[in-house]
Amino acid sequence: MLHLAGAGKGRYHPAFRYSVLSLLLLASGNVLSETSSSVLEIIEVKGVNFNASQTDYEQLLRSKGADFSAAGGVSALPLLNGMMGNRIKVLIDGNDIGAACANEMNPPLSYISANQIHDVAVFAGVSPVSMGGDNIAGVISVSSINPTFTDSDTLSHQRSYLGSHYQSNGDVLKLIAGTELSSKNISLKYDGAYSDANSYRDGNDEEVPDTLYRAQNHQLVGAWKNGAEQLAVKLSHQYIPFQGFANQYMDMTENQSVGATLQYQRPLAEGNLLARLNWQSIEHEMGFFTEEKPGTMPMLTDSDDYSYQLHWQTALSDTTSLIIGQEFYQFTLNDIWPAVPGSMMMGPNDYININDGKRQRLAIFAELNQQLSAKLTLNYGLRLEHVTTNTGEVQAYSNMMMGMMAADALAAQAFNQQQRKQRDTLTDISVSASYQLDDSQQVQFGLAQKNRAPNLYERYSWGQGQMAISMIGWFGDGNGYIGDINLKPETARTLSIAYLYNSDNALLQIRPFYTRVSDFIDVDIAGSFNSGANLRHRLQFVNLDATLYGIEASGQWLLASDARLGQWQLQAEAKVNRGTRDNSNEPLYQQRPFNTSVQLQHQLGKLQTALKWQWQDGKSRLDSRRLENPTASYALLDLNSQWQHNQLTLNFGISNLLDKDYELPLGGVNIAEYRQDNSNGFSQLKGAGRSLNAGIRYSF
């Protein structure tokens, strides 16, 4: 679904109240002039202000057009325009958190809970250069720093909240809490969340093993204000004692993170300044913790992210504004698999997968926003980045040059003799235009060249043995992956067109896109191995060319509005995308087939109710290299209601009302189930069956 800020004349559509502020804050640090505000409304953006009582960011982002590839309960990987993982730049208050795991079990969105988020904007394909680089699929930009101030000189309590949410399927319990104190010059705010879940059950009431998890996130924001000058400090902490990954060979046995953000804003003589400093430290452990997928193999990963952003915005004229910026990002990583005493395969040495890995990005950009006429606005910019990656020497479990240990011993020796330092220069160009046809219709055009340099695991995963390569990969397919130091950056050229119709009683949005990617990082088959009695592939990361295209459409209609019967609205959306390799016309991995949904909403007084029907087409376009499974079509029915009275909000719902048994088209294979019984091969991961859900939130 494409959300357009400032489209039409703001007619009444409650579910489509867009947050122009969301985009403006992110683009120019909360201090844009009135002129630049009107110009920036042209940008193609999916953005929303949402209620902090929500406990599921994944559900919120799905409603804004993002898909998710199944992973752990709090670690799903987002997809935009048919691309996933690092191809999407996820920024949290400007912080770019690197993948501190060979399976990407701790993606950036896992470090923030929904109640901590103030604004989020999702840019698919064509994004302004000021919103971030090093991506080809789009940008998800999250803002959680939102201090509020009063007119009083005395620091006093402003608001607090407590909330909980329960899902019967999996016994999922989520708790949230927050409080805020503020005065004329000082603001203090805390938001925390805790979640705990057992493994859920499918539509046949059979357990989907290894889908249990427990997690908590805490965030404290302190801010000082003096006139238009503002300084904010955010401290964050995350702790995940365990999280199951049914579609991976390993599980998360602990993930601890601490982070700090310093954000400064002030007006200058000729413009406005935004400066940020970010730091994030992660200690990550993989292994096995549950009888649902037992084993012994510790893996330890430590990482640090450091970054800063300097953005300056100024009005060049009454109709033109300029944003220029300079940014720096550094990600350091150590990935070590400790030896297991008494093991013939995992010892006597520690396996050093990545030794002092480093990825540095230095970027500058300039972006112009122009109001050429009352109907036509433009946004265009240029971004240059220099990316450097490097790592130290590595070590296999054993230096023996014979038997099963020889492959990794020889690979480590060859890797250590190579030139490992790589430098890439990325040039991003983005142009978007918006034209108001009349009071009800708007068209948008976007054209962009975006680039992404390989991540550390794509370049430096050097192992060749079956066990070593099986530990690499965030695709949930059960195959093994081998890196390539000489991979080139991906370059995507995207064309996006959007049409928006907005009247008193209806809203319609249509967005087709087309993307050609040069040096797309995909895989070639380098061999095979047997996992139990079933074949899996050894896959080598390679560059090739690919094409992706698709269309999204959504609409909303006000059916009736009556004082006695309430307001009735109908929402519908449909989406389809395709991805192919240019050299063979074969499908790319995890391309979600055609899907659609229809939702009937009703509001009467303080009670809101929604009945949603979702239909997913079967998946038959498959990636043979990754041995991707077909999936059948299915339909789901969900019922949700909410009642609000003063400070109290109650929620009730039934998801998968008809208890449909279905396979997730983006779920990957169920390795946990395979390890319990391999007679059915690597079956597709199933979705959750019926669940009764209830929530409560009280504000005071």
Give first-to-last CA distance, the chain, whole Å: 35
pLDDT one-digit tens code per residue, 609-653: 999 999 999 999 999 999 999 999 999 999 999 999 999 999 999
Nearest alpha-carbon partner for 210 in 289, 112, 118, 277:
289
Report how many domains make up the chain: 1
C-alpha dihedral, 148 to 149 to 155 to 158, nearest 10°: -50
363's CB contacts (< 8 A; 6+ apart) are: 133, 325, 326, 327, 328, 329, 383, 384, 385, 386
Res 38 pLDDT > 50 = no
Render pLDDT for 463-510 as a digit per residue (tens, 0 to 9). Answer: 999 999 999 999 999 999 999 999 999 999 999 999 999 999 999 999
CB 603 within 8 A of CB 574: no
Looking at residue 317, what DSSP letter applies?
S
User: Tens of pLDDT along 386-401?
Assistant: 999 999 999 999 998 8
Cβ contact 448:8 at 8 Å: no
- By the 8 A CB rule, do 498 and 510 touch? yes
Average pLDDT score, the chain: 91
Return the higher-pLDDT residue of 14 and 368: 368
Is residue 3 one of the residues assigned to a domain?
A: no
| Residue 624 · residue 587 · CB < 8 Å | no
Residue 390 buriedness (CB in 10 A; 0-12 / 13-18 / 19+)? middle
Q: Which range of residues forms the domain containing residue 628? A: 14-699
Higher-scoring residue by pLDDT: 122, 53: 122
Instruction: Decide if 8 is inside a domain.
Output: no
CATH number at residue 381: 2.40.170.20
Burial pattern 306-332, b for ≥16 Cβ within 10 A else e, equals bbbbebbbbbeeeebbbbbbebebbbb
Whether 38 is covered by a domain: the verdict is yes
Provide the edge-to-edge strand list for the sheet that holds 46-48: 46-48, 119-124, 138-143, 88-92, 95-96
pLDDT single digits (tens) 167-195? 999 999 999 999 999 999 999 999 999 99
Q: What is the pLDDT of residues 652-694, one digit of tens each?
A: 999 999 999 999 999 999 999 999 999 989 999 999 999 999 9
On whether residue 1 sits in a domain, the answer given is: no
pLDDT (mean) for 344-370: 97
Report helix, strand or coil for 33. Answer: coil
Instruction: Name 649's bridge partners.
Output: 644, 697
Adjacent-strand bridge partners of 196 = 173, 214
CB atoms within 10 A of CB 99: 25
In a domain, 7, yes or no: no
**277-328 residue pLDDT tens:** 999 999 999 999 999 999 999 999 999 999 999 999 999 999 999 999 999 9
Percent of the chain with pLDDT over 70: 92
Residue 409 in domain: yes
Kindly state whether residue 349 falls inside one of the protein's structural domains: yes
The answer to whether position 34 is within a domain reads yes
Write out pLDDT tens, residues 206-261.
999 999 999 999 999 999 999 999 999 999 999 999 999 999 999 999 999 999 99
User: Per DSSP, what are the bridge partners of residue 38?
Assistant: none
pLDDT of residue 55: 55
